[in-house]
Amino acid sequence: MSSIWTKDCELPHFDSLKKDIQTDVLVIGGGITGILCTYMLKQAGIDCVLAEARTLCSGMTQNTTAKITFQHGLFCHKLLAQYGREKARMYLEANREALEQYRKLCRDIPCDFEEKDAFVYSENNRKILEEEMKALEKTGFQADFCETIPLPFPVVGAIRFKNQAQFHPLKFLAAIAEGLPIYENTFVRALSGHTAVTSHGTITAKKIIVTTHFPFLNSHGSYFLKLYQHRSYVLVLENAPDLQGMYVSDSLTGMSFRNFRQYTFIGGGGHRSGKQGGSWSELKAFADRYYPDSREVYRFAAQDCMPLDLIPYIGHYSRSTPDLFVATGFHKWGMTSSMAAARILTDMILERENPYAPVFSPSRNMLKPQLAVNAAEAMANLLTFSSPRCPHMGCALKWNSAEHSWDCPCHGSRFDENGKLCDNPAMKNLNF
C-alpha cells in the first residue's frame, strides 16, 4: 500500500548523523511542516538542521490528499461561537495567507499546482450550511451557496470557496528540500535540556521545534490529553468523472472527492484510530455503486491529529518551555496548517511579532468537551486486559484487520503485524 504521490517523484536523500553537532535551531520531523520550517529558517539566515527518524515524507505527508484551502469544513460558525469574530477572522486570514504563500512558491516549482474551487456539502442539514454562510459574512470572507454540485447523490446544498488549490506535495517538497541541512535515518530518542540524543550522535541547539505529527514528549504540554488521532482512507480511480473541484462532507465520517490528472480520489471510511470504521470497503462499495466503470489504481490511508477545538497547536510546547516549540493538531487540514505553522514558528524563533500566534497558542484553555472524551477513552483502554499493549502509555492495542496492524485507540500509535513501529507517538517497537 503506497500513495499515488510516491510513484512519480524522487525525493532527495540525506546522510544520517554520525557525530555530535551544535546548531541554533533543531527541527525534529521531516514531513511537510518540518521541511517548511527548515526552509524558512534558512531563508532568514538562521543556522538550523532537521532530523528525520526515517526518510523525508515517509509518514503522513506522503498520504495527504493535498488540498491547499482555507475552506476547512463547517468551522467558522463554531469558531465564532467559541472565540468571537476576531479570532475566527484571524484563523481564516492565517490560512488564506498560507494559500497565497504556496501560490507564490509554486510559480517556480513544477508541482502540478492547480486552482480549484473547494466545496463543503451536506446531505441532510441545510440549516447548518446557512449558519456557516452567516458566520463567514460576519468575519468578512466571501463564499457562495450552491444548490447543486456534480456528485452522484442528492445534497441539500454546499458552500463554495473560489480559487483554492491542489498540487503534487512530494514534487513541491523535493524542490524545497534540495540543499537543506537535513539528516535522515536519525531518530531522536530523547531530549535532555537543549540536547537531542540519537543513535550515533547528539544535536545541541539553542531552540528546538517538534514537528513529529503527534508530539512525543509526555512531560510537557499534556498532548496525550489534548489530541487523538483519526484514520481515513482513499481510493484512487481511473475512468471516473472529473468533478471540477474539491469536495468534503459536513460530517467527520463523510466522504471527500477531488481529481488529479486522469484520476478521481474518493476519501472516507474514517474512524478514531483503534476503532472500527468503514475503511476501504466502504469506498469500494460506493465506487461499485456510483462509478461502476471505474478501476481502482491506488489505495492509501492517512491519520490526522485532532485538537480539543478546531485550531491546531502552534507555538511554545508549553508555558514552561521557552526554547521548545511544537506544531501539531492540524485537524485534517495539514497543507495550509503546515505553511501557517512554519511562518508563525519562524517569526517566534526570530523574536518577531506574529499577529496569528495567539490564536494557535498550545497553552490556550483545555476545558473543552473533547477533553473528557479523550480522558475516558484512555482510562477505558488502560483498564482493558490485552496483549500487546502500546509502549507509549500502556493502552490496549486493537487489531486493524483492514490494514493488518495493531492500533492504539488512546493516542494513535500503530505497529505492523510483526510489532514494528509504523506511526508515533510511541518511540519503539512492540515486544511480543
Q: Are both 195 and 235 inside the same structural domain? A: no
CATH number at residue 411: 2.102.10.10
Question: What pLDDT is recorded for position 2?
Answer: 76
User: Domain boundary residue among 360, 378, 400?
Assistant: 360
Domain count, the chain: 3
Tens of pLDDT along the chain (432 residues) come to: 678 999 989 999 999 999 999 999 999 999 999 999 999 999 999 999 999 999 999 999 999 999 999 999 999 999 999 999 999 999 999 999 999 999 999 999 999 999 999 999 999 999 999 999 999 999 999 999 999 999 999 999 999 999 999 999 999 999 999 999 999 999 999 999 999 999 899 999 999 999 999 999 999 999 999 999 999 999 999 999 999 999 999 998 899 999 999 999 999 999 999 998 899 999 999 999 999 999 999 999 999 999 999 999 999 999 999 999 999 999 999 999 999 999 999 999 999 999 999 999 999 999 999 999 999 988 888 888 877 999 999 999 999 998 999 999 999 999 999 999 999 999 999 987
Q: Are both 231 and 300 inside the same structural domain? A: yes
User: Domain boundary residue among 264, 279, 306?
Assistant: 306
Q: What is the DSSP string of 348-377?
A: HHTT---TTHHHH-TTS---SHHHHHHHHH
What is the rounded distance in angstroms from the CA atom of residue 88 to the CA atom of residue 85? 5
Pair 73, 248: CB distance under 8 Å? yes
Q: Please identify which residue in the block is written with the cell numbers 478521481.
A: 264
Q: Are both 297 and 314 inside the same structural domain? A: no
- Go through the chain and tell me how many residues it has: 432
Omega before residue 388 within 30° of 0, cis: yes
In a domain, residue 407? The reply is yes
Q: What is the DSSP string of 86-132?
A: HHHHHHHHHHHHHHHHHHHHGGGS-S--EEEEEEEEESS-HHHHHHH
What is the rounded distance in angstroms from the CA atom of residue 430 to the CA atom of residue 432? 6
**Cell numbers placing 147:** 444548490
Q: Are both 144 and 248 inside the same structural domain? A: yes
Q: Are both 233 and 300 inside the same structural domain? A: yes
Domain range for 391 is 369-423
Q: Are both 243 and 291 inside the same structural domain? A: yes
